[in-house]
Amino acid sequence: MPAWGPRPPPPRPLTPPDPSDPDPAPPPAEASPARPPYLDHQATTPCDPAVLAAMAPWWNDQFANPASRLHRPGLLAAAAVEQARGRLAAGLGLALGDGPAGMDSQHWAVVFTSGATEANNLALKGLAEAELTAGGQRRHLLTLATEHRAVLDPLRYLACHGFRLTELAVGADGLVDPAALEAALQPDTLLVSVMAANNEIGVLQPLAAIGALCRARGIRFHCDAAQAVGHIPLQPAALGIDLLSLSGHKLYGPKGIGALVIAPGVRLAPQQHGGGQEGGLRAGTLPVPLIVGLAEALALALADREPRAARLGALRDRLWAELQALGGIQLNGALAPRLAHNLNVTVAGVDGTALHRALRRQLAVSSGSACSAGSPSHVLAALGRSRAEAAASIRFGLGRGTTAAEIEAALAVLGAAIQELRG
């Protein structure tokens, strides 16, 4: 039982369909056979066919449990998991140790999880609980107001259980000023958690500067890199990161798999107990196909990262230039440094609900994070946007399959919708 008690925060209510909506979103396939351009790759990416192929043998042909060490199929599955772990670590410029999950006192470890949400929970709650059980006195946690809910919610949970939490404001450009972060550190700061790339506005936080600040003070630095791994160069060791979360489905891998990358010497308390897998840090039978798929997806994403970023950056810049020509369109977040495949804008002079209703049959975009659909974006609020402005905002997430024709189509749809709504 965690030292601060077992009570989770109350679950958020499900958002029921709005009965007053006369034009609910259509069920996909049958209603509209020609798929609208999908520009929501920050919500999720399609699983690459090569990833599917790499996963295929591990579902049915070689289906053994990697914890079954007394027979050859089990040993083969275990070897596949360890190979994937090694590939993942190598993709991040890390060497694993010989211990379970690659853990030993000198080396980095990779613990497989169900995704970035679970990796964040293990990192944040695991570090806090380890501090308590070791008799440590650090009780202050620091993060940004624009973090994903998968960071904010576990930290707020900790703030209800004996820790103090600072949710630092960002500038109007969405970036944190390292000097402001330094000023917000306290003598007993245990942890700083800052994401690599924002999931709504795509801005890239100054990780190296934050890592240096933390390292100089013995503060642990966690980075939610779900939107960044496979998209930007990212070497946790060089950036002073102690704990890094990533997710398969954000980099053209399968859904339901992610990892927590752990620096040598970082102690965590497990948040899931059971069969002792993953060096005791994450109990549960390992999903071999998903793990193999995650490693393959990262290798593929790193292989085409540069040309993909260049191509998508050019398409994104064209989209932004054409949108500006429509007038009354405001950029959310700094244009640079930013993910090459992200754009987030607020459309003036239109009602947000009407705008997204007009777009949704012809364009797959979002108004904010897929994980908090229905509630106004806390990220845009942190940038100073009003509720109405946040609702009239559009997140474009371009992806590997995005074409110039799709961008043209999106612009045409958007231009027509804005013209009609502005009357």
Ligand X SMILES: Cc1ncc(COP(=O)(O)O)c(C=O)c1O
Is 399 one of the binding residues for ligand X (CB under 6 A)? no
Residue closer to ligand X by CB (options 116, 392) is 116
Query: Which is nearer to ligand X, 228 or 413 (by Cβ)?
Result: 228
Query: Within 10 Å of residue 288's Cβ, how many Cβ atoms?
Result: 24
Longest dimension (CA), the chain: 72
The yes or no reply on residue 239 touching ligand X (CB under 6 A) is: no
Among 84, 127, 150, 234, which residue interacts with ligand X (rule: CB under 6 A)? 150
CA 317 – CA 233 distance, rounded (Å): 20
Q: Is 255 or 360 the residue whose CB approaches ligand X more closely?
A: 255
Instruction: Please state whether beta strands 258-262 and 243-247 pair in parallel, antiparallel, or not at all (unpaired).
Output: antiparallel
Contact 106, 138 (CB under 8 A): no
Using DSSP, state whether 115 is helix, strand or coil. coil
334 near 172, Cβ under 8 Å? Answer: no
**Binding status of residue 371 toward ligand X by CB under 6 A:** yes
User: Which residue's CB comes closest to ligand X?
Assistant: 115
Q: Can you tell me whether residue 412 is helix, strand or coil? A: helix
What's the closest the beta carbon of residue 194 comes to ligand X, in angstroms? 11
Our finding on whether 227 is near ligand X (CB under 6 A) is yes
Query: Is residue 383 within 8 Å of 390, Cβ to Cβ?
Result: no
Q: Is 148 in the site for ligand X (CB under 6 A)?
A: yes
Nearest distance from C-beta of residue 62 to ligand X, angstroms: 25
Does residue 79 belong to the site contacting ligand X (CB under 6 A)?
no
Active site residues: 371
CA-to-CA separations, 121 to 55, 116, 260, 278, in angstroms, rounded: 27, 8, 10, 16
Compute the least distance from the CB of residue 370 to ligand X, in Å. 6
Please identify, among the stretches 94-102, 178-186, 219-227, 233-241, the one whose residues bind ligand X according to the rule CB under 6 A.
Answer: 219-227
247 binds ligand X per the rule CB under 6 A? yes
Contacts of 361 (CB under 8 A, 6+ apart): 25, 26, 32, 36
Q: What is the arrangement of strands in the sheet containing 109-113, beginning at the earlier edge strand?
A: 109-113, 258-262, 243-247, 220-224, 189-193, 140-144, 164-168
> Using the rule CB under 6 A, is 116 a contact of ligand X?
yes
The residue (of 247 and 393) whose beta carbon lies closer to ligand X is 247
Are 421 and 354 spatial neighbours (Cβ–Cβ below 8 Å)?
A: yes
For residue 369, the minimal CB distance to ligand X (Å) is: 6
Proportion of the chain in helix, strand, coil states, percent, rounded to 5: 40, 15, 45
* 205 near ligand X, judged by CB under 6 A: no
* Contacting residue, 224, 242, 389, 406, with ligand X by CB under 6 A: 224
DSSP H or E segment with residue 85: helix 72-91
Taking CB under 6 A as the binding criterion, the range among 114-122, 127-135, 175-183, 415-423 that sits at the site for ligand X is 114-122
Report if residue 226 touches ligand X, rule: CB under 6 A. yes
Which residues, in sequence order, are CB contacts of 33 under 8 Å at separation 6+? none
Asked if residues 58 and 80 have their Cβ atoms less than 8 Å apart, the reply is yes
Q: Which of 45, 121, 189, 199 binds ligand X (CB under 6 A)?
A: 199
Min CB(411)–ligand X separation in Å: 26
When the beta carbons of 126 and 350 are compared against ligand X, the nearer one is 126
- Binding residues for ligand X, rule: CB under 6 A, are 115-117, 148, 150, 195, 199, 224, 226-227, 247, 258, 370-371
